[in-house]
């Protein structure tokens, strides 16, 4: 075990290699062919299936499950990918328990839904593992579109535009494409490099050029992109992180949860990532849960997730909350941080208990901590952007911004719910609208 000289409680290599392998194995192992057939056989194939309505990308779920049941998983994959080109990733990370599976008739009648997410993964994996790309490009239109951001929204937009015959240049500030899928999701949800494998497969449509290390505002401007391209799609996500405005909030050992997760995702060996003995994560969303669970899996002895409201108000789903608890994460609610104590590095964090209306109770508690991870929201960064609302780019319809010729979608745009599947839908729909406008139909 290697300790940090700056924060003595933070160390790498807390566990044996076998423990790391077990802890970061696939959260939901893939179904085999027999399991998929058994799972598909439970579907009622509803004519007016509520699961379709609950899916942000409107996948025809009964159809693709019937295709699996009849032994044609590649046809099922095409049904999925026609609506959601990142169906493989969404099958792994989408909160199906609160979307399609919650709406499943089997769930409502028996409390046990059809395994829609796992069946979606089975079909898309079957196709992608063969290297098959089921779509071909239309005749070239001569139009060229810039996409800023290689996350789910940007890639979905780029793929649909390329399929429609346009040339697309995707620009991203980071070294790898994928955005949130590559840098911001727990490693145990997408092991074995799936995020990059899916991007490589997606690019098989052709007509898409990636430009890495290109950031809006630093390397290119919106005015410049407008002048050079026929249309622009903004899908750069939220890269700023809200700070912790309390006494001691800048002490050694206080980190952004998104950076902690990104470092873990990019580590060639998870054993090299330092983690505290006593870790406190502040927040109640998916990022907070992912950070807390992974801190525990890395060998932290005590992990506490602290949230200012009740569990019913957490953005993380009940499944994610229960997953955290099952891994040994302690969830504290109705608390707000007031100070971080320590001589240079964090040693304790102090919270005040609050009422439902966020008023203080006057009661406080101190918790031992050598590492504090902030997961209290992200912000949009950039100058010269289209009109904003609520700190995000204001959009109407299929992602149209206040500036003609510029569309936006994903986390950086208003109206979404910060889910991968929603970002994919917004990128796809914006691409269709861009196509209609460029071809004179919109």
Q: Helix, strand or coil for residue 81?
A: helix
Residue 22 pLDDT: 96
Residues paired with 17 in a beta bridge: none
Contact criterion met (CB below 8 Å) for 236 and 149? yes
Dihedral of the alpha carbons of 82, 88, 90, 93, in degrees to the nearest 10: 180
- Furthest C-alpha separation in the chain: 68
In which residue ranges of the chain is CATH 1.10.1060.10 found?
33-128
SS percent in the chain: helix, strand, coil, step 5: 40, 20, 45
Q: Measure the CA–CA gap between 143 and 235, rounded to whole angstroms.
A: 19
> In terms of DSSP bridges, do strands 348-354 and 335-341 run parallel, antiparallel, or are they unpaired?
antiparallel
Strand intervals (E) in 196-241: 208-212, 231-234, 240-241
- Give per-residue pLDDT as tens, 313-372: 999 999 999 999 999 999 999 999 999 999 999 999 999 999 999 999 999 999 999 999
Helix ranges, 353-419 (H)? none
**Confidence class of residue 415 from pLDDT cuts 50, 70 and 90?**
confident
Regarding the domain delimited by 144-239+380-438, which CATH topology (the fold level of the hierarchy) does it fall under? FAD/NAD(P)-binding domain (3.50.50)
Domain 242-377 CATH (choose: 3.40.50.1980, 3.40.50.920, 3.50.50.60, 3.30.930.10): 3.50.50.60
- Give per-residue pLDDT as tens, 248-257: 999 999 999 9
In which residue ranges of the chain is CATH 3.50.50.60 found?
144-239+380-438, 242-377
Contact criterion met (CB below 8 Å) for 409 and 157? yes
Predicted confidence (pLDDT) at residue 5 exceeds the cutoff of 80: no
**Confidence class of residue 3 from pLDDT cuts 50, 70 and 90?**
low
**Confidence class of residue 418 from pLDDT cuts 50, 70 and 90?**
confident
- Give per-residue pLDDT as tens, 392-413: 999 999 999 999 999 999 999 9
Q: Measure the CA–CA gap between 307 and 22, rounded to whole angstroms.
A: 29
Residue with tokens 């903004």: 234
- Give per-residue pLDDT as tens, 187-222: 999 999 999 999 999 999 999 999 999 999 999 999
Regarding the domain delimited by 33-128, which CATH topology (the fold level of the hierarchy) does it fall under? Fumarate Reductase Iron-sulfur Protein; Chain B, domain 2 (1.10.1060)
Q: Measure the CA–CA gap between 230 and 279, rounded to whole angstroms.
A: 49
């Amino acid at each position: 075990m290697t300790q940090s000289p700056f924060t003595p409680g933070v160390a790498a290599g807390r566990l044996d290699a076998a423990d790391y392998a077990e802890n970061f194995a696939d959260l939901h192992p893939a179904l085999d062919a027999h399991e998929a057939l058994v799972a598909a056989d439970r579907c009622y194939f509803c004519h007016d299936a509520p699961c379709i309505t609950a899916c942000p990308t409107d996948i025809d779920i009964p159809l693709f499950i019937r295709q699996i049941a009849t032994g044609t998983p590649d046809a099922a994959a095409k049904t999925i990918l026609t609506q959601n080109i990142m169906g493989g990733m969404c099958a792994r990370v989408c909160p199906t328990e609160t979307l399609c599976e919650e709406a499943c008739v089997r769930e409502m009648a028996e409390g046990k839904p059809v395994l829609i997410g796992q069946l979606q993964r089975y079909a898309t994996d079957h196709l992608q593992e063969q290297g098959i790309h089921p779509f071909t490009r239309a005749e070239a239109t001569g139009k060229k579109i810039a996409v800023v951001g290689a996350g789910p929204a940007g890639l979905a937009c780029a793929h649909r535009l390329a399929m429609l015959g346009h040339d697309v240049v995707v620009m991203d500030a980071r070294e790898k494409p994928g955005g949130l899928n590559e840098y911001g999701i727990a490693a145990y949800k997408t092991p074995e490099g799936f995020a990059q494998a899916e991007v490589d497969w997606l690019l098989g449509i052709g007509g898409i050029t990636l430009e890495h290390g290109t950031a809006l505002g630093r390397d290119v401007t919106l005015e410049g992109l407008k002048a050079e391209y026929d249309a622009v799609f903004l899908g750069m996500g939220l890269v700023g992180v809200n700070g912790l405005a309390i006494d001691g909030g800048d002490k050694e050992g206080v980190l952004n949860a998104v950076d902690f997760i990104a470092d873990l995702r990019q580590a060639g060996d998870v054993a090299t990532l330092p983690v505290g003995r006593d870790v406190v994560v502040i927040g109640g969303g998916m990022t907070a849960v992912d950070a807390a669970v992974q801190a525990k899996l890395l060998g932290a002895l005590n992990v506490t997730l602290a949230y200012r409201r009740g569990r019913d108000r957490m953005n993380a789903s009940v499944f994610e909350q229960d997953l955290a608890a099952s891994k040994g994460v302690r969830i504290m609610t109705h608390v707000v941080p007031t100070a971080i104590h320590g001589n240079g590095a964090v040693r304790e964090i102090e919270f005040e208990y609050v009422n439902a209306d966020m008023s203080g109770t006057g009661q406080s508690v101190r918790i031992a901590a050598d590492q504090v991870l902030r997961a209290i929201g992200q912000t949009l960064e950039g100058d010269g952007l289209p009109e904003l609302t609520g700190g995000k780019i204001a959009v109407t319809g299929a992602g149209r911004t206040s500036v003609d010729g510029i569309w936006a979608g994903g986390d950086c745009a208003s109206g979404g719910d910060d889910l991968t599947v929603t970002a994919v839908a917004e990128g796809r729909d914006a691409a269709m609208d861009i196509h209609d406008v460029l071809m004179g139909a919109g």
